[in-house]
Amino acid sequence: MGIFSRLKTLVSSNVNDMISKAEKPEKMLNQLLIEMNEQLIESKKAVAMAIADEKKLERERDNQQAQAQEWERKAMLAVQAGKDDLAKEALLRKQEYDNAALEYQKQWEAQKSSVDKLKESLRELQNKIEEAQRKKNLLVARAKRAEAQQKIQNTISSVSGNRTAFEAFDRMAAKVDQMEAQADAARELEDLNADASLEKKFKELEKSDSSADLLLLELKEKMKALPEKSS
C-alpha cells in the first residue's frame, strides 16, 4: 500500500460514519483535520526515509565510481612499470566497479524519480489539507449561522403556537385601555367641578358687590332728604 493510500482509506472509512452521527459540525471537522494532519506527519516521515535511501544510493554510486578511477590509476602505474599482467588485473577490478557504479546509477535514478513523485504528492496533500482548513472555517461559520436561525425559528414557532399567552396580552391591553378611560373620565369630572366652583365664587362676588352698591345709593338718597344744618 502506498504511503498516501492509508490517508485515503482512513478518511473513506470514517467520514461517512462521522457525518451521519455528527451533531456539531465543528467538532467533526476538527477531528477530521487532526487525523489528516497526523497522517501527513507519517507521510512526511516515509518521504524522508525515501529521500535518505536516494542519498545512500547516490553516495554508493559515487564510491563505486571513485574505486573504478582508483583501479584505473593503478593500471596506469602497472603499465608504466612494464607489468602488463598486473595492469590487466587492475583493469578487471576497474570494470567490476564500473559495472557496480552503473547498477547503482540505475537504482539511484529510479529512486530519485520515485522521490520526486512522492514530494509532489506530499505537496499536493499539504495543499489539500490547507484547503480543508479554509473550508472548515467557512463550514463552521455557516453551521453556526444555520443553528442560530433554527433557534430563532423554533422560538417564533413556540410563541406563535401559544395562543393563551397572546390572549392574555390582549386581555391585559383591554384592561389598561379601560383603566386609562376611567382615569380620563375622573380627570374630566374633576375639571368640571373645579370650573363650577370657580364660577360660583365669581357669582357670589358679583352679587356681593351689587348689594353694596344698592345700599350705598339708598344711603346717599336718604342723606339728601335730610334737612341741612345751619352753620
Check whether 7 has a pLDDT greater than 60.
no
Q: What is the overall mean pLDDT for the chain?
A: 81
Instruction: Assign 162 to helix, strand or coil.
Output: coil
**Domain edge (last residue) among 145, 161, 177:** 161
Which residue carries 401559544 as its cell? 162
C-alpha cell at 186: 375622573
Range of the domain at 92: 5-161
Residue 154 within any structural domain of the chain: yes
Residue 230 within any structural domain of the chain: no
Q: Are 29 and 133 in a shared domain? A: yes
Q: Are 9 and 87 in a shared domain? A: yes
Better-predicted residue by pLDDT, 19 or 216: 216
Q: Around 73, how many Cα atoms within 13 Å sit in the side-chain half-sphere?
A: 6
Rounded CA gap, 166 and 170, in Å?
Answer: 6
- Taking residues 155-174, what's their average pLDDT? 72
Q: Are 175 and 100 in a shared domain? A: no
pLDDT score for 11:
52
Residue 171 within any structural domain of the chain: yes
Q: Are 152 and 177 in a shared domain? A: no
Q: Are 14 and 104 in a shared domain? A: yes
Q: At what angle do helices 5-21 and 25-80 cross, to 10 degrees?
A: 180
Number of domains composing the chain = 2
pLDDT score for 209:
55
- Taking residues 200-217, what's their average pLDDT? 67
At 83, is the pLDDT very low, low, confident or very high (cuts 50, 70, 90)? very high
C-alpha cell at 60: 554508493
Share of the chain above pLDDT 70, in %: 77
Residue 231 within any structural domain of the chain: no
pLDDT score for 85:
95
Side chain identity, residue 178: Q
Q: Are 173 and 131 in a shared domain? A: no
Angle 32-38-43 from CA coordinates, rounded to 5°? 120
Q: Are 130 and 178 in a shared domain? A: no
Q: Are 84 and 142 in a shared domain? A: yes
At 22, is the pLDDT very low, low, confident or very high (cuts 50, 70, 90)? low
**Domain edge (last residue) among 161, 185, 204:** 161
Check whether 50 has a pLDDT greater than 70.
yes
- Taking residues 120-139, what's their average pLDDT? 88
Better-predicted residue by pLDDT, 45 or 4: 45
Residue 229 within any structural domain of the chain: no
Q: DSSP assignment of 164-181, as one string?
A: HHHHHHHHHHHHHHHHHH
pTM of the predicted protein model: 0.54
Better-predicted residue by pLDDT, 227 or 89: 89
Residue 99 within any structural domain of the chain: yes
C-alpha cell at 140: 463552521
Exposed, middle or buried by CB within 10 Å (0-12, 13-18, 19+), for 183?
exposed
- Taking residues 50-72, what's their average pLDDT? 96
**Domain edge (last residue) among 140, 161, 182:** 161
Q: Are 31 and 96 in a shared domain? A: yes
Residue 119 within any structural domain of the chain: yes
Check whether 208 has a pLDDT greater than 90.
no
182 contacts: CB under 8 Å, gap ≥ 6: none
Check whether 1 has a pLDDT greater than 50.
no
